[in-house]
């Protein structure tokens, strides 16, 4: 019986906390999503360019050594 009362208490507190939270508007959510997508693309480009450059440098170095 304690299990059900604790579960009910947990969910009632959960609902109360979720009501206290400030939720973004649709405009804010769209803007944040665009920022995250742009940041992800930029980070992906940076990682790809860095990886390609490092690969070329190591390849050149190993050709010069051997």
**The pLDDT value given to residue 3:** 86
For the chain, domain boundaries: 23-66
- The whole-angstrom separation of Cα 56 and Cα 60 is 6
Query: pTM of the entire structure?
Result: 0.64
> Does pLDDT of 1 surpass 90?
no
Task: Name the pLDDT band for 13 (thresholds 50, 70, 90).
Answer: very high
- The whole-angstrom separation of Cα 58 and Cα 64 is 10
pLDDT in tens, 16-44: 999 999 999 999 999 999 999 999 999 99
């Amino acid at each position: 019986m304690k299990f059900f009362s604790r579960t009910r208490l947990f969910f009632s507190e959960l609902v109360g906390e979720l009501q206290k939270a400030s939720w973004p508007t649709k405009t804010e959510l769209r803007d944040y999503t665009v920022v995250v997508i742009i940041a992800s693309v930029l980070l992906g480009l940076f990682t790809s360019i860095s990886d390609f450059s490092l690969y070329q440098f190591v390849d050149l170095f190993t050709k010069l050594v051997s």
